[in-house]
Amino acid sequence: MAEKKSFALRIDADTMKAIEKWAADEFRSVNGQIEWMLHHSLRQAGRLKDKKEKDKTDPPGLSK
């Protein structure tokens, strides 16, 4: 599993309420929902390689 890093996040009250509602609807914690949102957005923007793509581009022996 990848190492996780902690950081503080400032967010306005309306956005936080929307995330809390969405997290509850998806049976996730708020933290889990924010992680999912960030990961999903990065993949859609082409900024994060899928594991399968990463495995194809890694030199032999370096795939996880």
List, for residues 5-62, the tens digit of each pLDDT value.
999 999 999 999 999 999 999 999 999 999 999 999 999 999 988 776 555 555 555 5
Residues ≥6 apart with Cβ < 8 Å to 20: 30
The predicted structure's pLDDT at residue 60: 59
The per-residue pLDDT for 14 is: 98
Query: Is the model's pLDDT at 64 over the cut of 50?
Result: no
**Sign of dihedral through CA atoms 1, 42, 8, 17?**
negative
**What confidence score (pLDDT) does residue 55 get?**
55
Place of tokens 């190492």: 3
What does the H/E/C string look like for the chain?
CCCCCCCCCCCCHHHHHHHHHHHHHCCCCHHHHHHHHHHHHHHHCCCCCCHHHHHHHCCCCCCC
